[in-house]
């Protein structure tokens, strides 16, 4: 899988997820086998670029691998400026968000709401591609509701305006994350364009990854929610696609090691008190299968200090190992 001049190490990609794919998470996923990790979306509104939230999202210092930054907005000129700003800030690929179904994004006509307006889609794509020298990619859904799956039309707009690759989530905007993803539209999109196509949606296992790639003919797959609390899914899928064999499930000791690494990186990246707060959701995901009653997670979520969190987790894993 190539994006412009960049050769990916494999064809398993981390989906951009707001509030999740920050630098600590991206780096962890890359270390655990992802070929590319796309940053969480940044608004094209320059008024918010100097906020702490945006500054954290834009932080790529010391980051390994290809730096792909997602931007969101509905004004072609502002999107072009946002692309230029992020390239100056170290972005090597700019990704345009036309896939987010969140109401607060859609009410500003950004994200997947744009799929209703193909002319505006074209204007935005033209503006962004024309504004930067780096490859520009696009993330979309299959359409805006099940009666209006216009993904093929949008894909053709993308191709003729020099989009370097296209990621498609197998749901419409109206579907949000409900029901099951469908791959027929992704297959039709792949057949209608010659640019690389990335399949996204409900890919939760190595077998599902292979099934989706085989069915759609897509060039790569993108993993989002299935990586929450399970960042080793990337190496599992990559290994299975290459060998047809399964890697063993990580031992509890390795889960502990990965989780502690992630926790410390969050504490360091965000500082106090933010690091401890953001860590809660990640710890909850990691421990879903171990702490099924949620007893430990309720205790953990009340902890405010990083050191308290570290000690609580160390005690938790020691108890787990003893049982």
Catalytic residues: 100
Cα–Cα dist 126/158, whole Å = 9
**Token pair of 196, please?**
């690389």
**Token pair of 246, please?**
């399964």
Give me the residues paired with residue 199 across strands. 168, 221
* Residues with Cβ within 8 Å of residue 317, at least 6 apart in sequence: 252, 256
Torsion of CA 27, 29, 35, 39, to 10 degrees: -60
Cα–Cα dist 57/85, whole Å = 13
Helix (H) or strand (E) holding 136: strand 136-141
Concatenating the DSSP letter of every residue in 254-277 gives HHHHHHHHHHHHHHHHH-TTHHHH
Three-state SS for 64-88 is: CCCCEEEEECCCHHHHHHHHHHHHH
């Amino acid at each position: 899988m190539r994006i412009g001049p960049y050769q990916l190490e494999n064809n398993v990609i981390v989906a951009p997820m707001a509030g999740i794919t920050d630098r600590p998470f991206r780096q962890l996923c890359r270390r655990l086998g992802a070929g590319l990790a796309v940053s969480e979306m940044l608004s094209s509104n320059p008024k918010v670029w100097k906020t702490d939230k945006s500054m954290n999202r834009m932080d790529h210092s010391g980051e390994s691998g290809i730096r792909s930054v997602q931007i969101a907005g509905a004004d072609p000129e502002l999107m072009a400026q946002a692309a230029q700003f992020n390239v100056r800030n170290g972005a090597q690929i700019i990704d345009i968000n036309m896939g987010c179904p969140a109401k607060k994004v859609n009410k500003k006509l950004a994200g997947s709401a744009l799929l209703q307006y193909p002319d505006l889609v074209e204007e935005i794509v033209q503006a962004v591609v024309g504004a930067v020298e780096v490859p520009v990619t696009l993330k979309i859904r299959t359409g805006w509701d099940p009666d209006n799956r216009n993904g093929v039309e949008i894909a053709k707009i993308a191709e003729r305006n020099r989009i370097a690759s296209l990621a498609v989530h197998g749901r419409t905007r109206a579907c949000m994350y409900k029901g099951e993803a469908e791959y027929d539209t992704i297959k039709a999109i792949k057949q209608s364009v010659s640019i690389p196509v990335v399949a996204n949606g409900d890919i939760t296992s190595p077998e599902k990854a292979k099934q989706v790639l085989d069915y759609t003919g897509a060039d790569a797959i993108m993993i989002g929610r299935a990586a929450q609390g399970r960042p080793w899914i990337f190496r599992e899928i990559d290994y299975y696609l290459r060998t047809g064999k399964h890697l063993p499930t990580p031992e509890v000791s390795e889960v502990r090691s990965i989780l502690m690494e992630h926790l410390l990186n969050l504490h360091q990246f965000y500082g106090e008190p933010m690091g401890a707060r953001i860590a809660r959701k990640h710890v909850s995901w990691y421990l879903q299968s171990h702490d099924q009653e949620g007893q430990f997670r309720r205790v953990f979520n009340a902890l405010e200090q990083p050191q308290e969190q570290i000690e609580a987790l160390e005690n938790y894993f020691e108890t787990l190992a003893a049982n």
